[in-house]
Amino acid sequence: MVESNEKSDKTPKLSIKDLSIFYGKEKVLSNVSFDIFENEIFGIIGPANSGKTSFLRILNRMDTFVPEMRFEGEVVFDGKNIMEWRNLYALRRSIGVVFPLPVGLPMSIYENVALSPRLRGIRSKGELDSIVERCLRRAALWDEVKDRLNVLGSLLSGGQQQRLTIARALSQEPKMLLLDEFSIAVDPVTTMKIEDALKDLRNEMTIILVTNLVQQARRLANRTAFFLMGEFIEEGNTEDFFTGNVQDPRTRQYVQGRFG
């Protein structure tokens, strides 16, 4: 069980107000409002096609890549409306993303992780070496690859490639990390390694975890939101979801496995 962060009077890291998402004229998610705070893992659960991935896309403006995707409402990150970020690269650097399937760059393990620091202007080999090792350690991959950093990342196993993707996201030095079904294509042992890494990373950043595995949300998330068929149902302390202390009976039914 994960203890819930006390919200008290803390300033939200991310504040969502009356958010609705559209593809053309079709509304795929309605009326989302909640706050997410520093150093917590915030879980989002719900069946497929409930708007979870679309929600993540909005947070670092990936909607700009999707024709006819738009949103209404307000998303404030670090006190600034995301629509006011003129430099989208800076926003996306601050909000890292890990997708369901590992997306390796066609280069070595080392260069996969070193790319973002190089783009920021870091040229010192010693500094790059330190960043690569730190990020691979934080992604629970260093011990498995430290003797073959020049090997193509695409030659790693699926689970290792997913952890390499996490290391690459961490090399951006994000303030928030978005994970979209990170365990969908990895084995249970690797899943547990990544979960352990995420528990440590929570001390350094805010994490939003989209998962179809409700027990994974229970293991990791301080608080959880439930989306259902494009509707935001409710959010609250994760353990309350599993002890029946919820506002909507559909939340209880989903967590209990009665549908989904």
- pLDDT of residue 1 exceeding 60, the answer is no
What is the residue-averaged pLDDT of the chain?
92
Q: How far, in Å, are 91, 110, 213, 217 from residue 38 at the CA level? A: 17, 30, 23, 18
pLDDT at 104: 72
Q: How far apart are CA 154 and CA 106, in angstroms?
A: 7
Q: How far, in Å, are 35, 126, 164, 242, 245 from residue 239 at the CA level? A: 18, 44, 31, 5, 8
Band of residue 9 on the pLDDT scale cut at 50, 70, 90: low
Largest CA-CA distance found in the chain, in angstroms, rounded: 57
Please name each of the domains of the chain with its CATH number.
14-255 (3.40.50.300)
List Cβ neighbours of 26 (8 Å cut-off, separation of 6 or more): none
Band of residue 184 on the pLDDT scale cut at 50, 70, 90: confident
List the structure tokens of 158.
């699926």
Q: What is the mean pLDDT of residues 113-141?
A: 95
- pLDDT of residue 178 exceeding 50, the answer is yes
List Cβ neighbours of 134 (8 Å cut-off, separation of 6 or more): none
Q: What is the mean pLDDT of residues 214-233?
A: 96
Band of residue 8 on the pLDDT scale cut at 50, 70, 90: very low
CB contact at 8 A, 82 and 90: no
Band of residue 79 on the pLDDT scale cut at 50, 70, 90: very high
- pLDDT of residue 7 exceeding 70, the answer is no
Band of residue 4 on the pLDDT scale cut at 50, 70, 90: low
Q: Sheet harboring 231-237: ordered strands across?
A: 80-81, 69-77, 14-23, 26-36, 231-237, 223-228, 41-45, 206-210, 176-180, 95-98
Residue with tokens 């409700």: 214
Amino acid type, 232: F
Q: Report the range of poorest mean pLDDT among 16-30, 93-107, 155-169.
A: 93-107
- pLDDT of residue 185 exceeding 80, the answer is no
Band of residue 2 on the pLDDT scale cut at 50, 70, 90: low
* Cβ atoms within 10 Å of 239's Cβ, excluding its own: 17
pLDDT at 183: 87
